[in-house]
Amino acid sequence: MLVIISPAKKLDFEKPALTTKFTQLSGIDKSKKLIKELKKCDAKKISSLMKLSDSLTELNMKRYKSFKTPFTLKNAKQALFSFKGDTYVGLDAETMKVKDIDYAQKHLRILSGLYGLVRPLDLIQPYRLEMGTKFSCEGNKNLYEYWQDSITKEVKSLLKKEKVLVNLASKEYFSAISFKELDAEIITPAFKEKKGDGFKMVSFYAKKARGMMSRFIIDHKVKDLKGLLKFNVDGYKYNKKLSTEFAPVFTRS
């Protein structure tokens, strides 16, 4: 089972990772090309592209200028321990054991607008570049076009062995994959909260639940849909009535 999740805007490059083990990004050459083009942009363009405040614009321009390869443990950090958004609160990587980190390295992938398809132990440097940013590079009018072929190729290769893909990424990020080319079961879970007489998706809780399900898959070494439907963390339970075969819905009161 291969699990795909989104990155996060919130980052932590101060606290050391739980491990000194690391790997290098497969798409670093494409990342360097993006950085080269981003360095040519002035503050006004960066702010407009990403809808950033003046302070965030300045911060990210500094990040682009300080980008330097090769990545090492002195100038970069493993992705799994760098992202700190809602999904990563649910994933709770800080409590993982060595065997769990090793399993995640094989079965979990993070989609990134700057780095492409990222393994948990791949070193990254701080950045801000969402996949939906309409930034052109090498004749591609946006980041979807720029990354889709290489990301899809990597995912297809991984699915030769895994056969099941669990999409726990946002629509914005999962759209970077040409899923029509994938020869696998694609499962896209949804998480909803009890609201009045029905159930409703609440973004904050759904993002955290995606992380919790990712952790559930890692902890229990889930291999198929049957195992996935046993997800019962933080009050969530499989709701058969609201689900379809490859779009299971998990609800809680």
pLDDT of residue 107: 98
Residue 47 lies in a domain: no
Domain count for the chain: 1
Q: What is the mean pLDDT of residues 162-186?
A: 94
Residue 63 lies in a domain: no
pLDDT of residue 111: 98
Q: For residue 126, give Cα distances in angstroms to 41, 54, 78.
A: 18, 18, 11
Domain assignment of residue 85, given as a range: 2-37+73-252
Residue 50 lies in a domain: no
Residue 51 lies in a domain: no
Phi–psi pair at 142, nearest 5 degrees: -155, 175
Is the alpha carbon torsion for 238, 239, 244, 245 positive or negative?
A: positive
Residue 146 lies in a domain: yes
pLDDT of residue 95: 97
Q: Is pLDDT at 163 greater than 90 in this prediction?
A: no
- pLDDT tens digits, residue range 38-82? 999 999 999 999 999 999 999 999 999 999 999 999 999 999 999
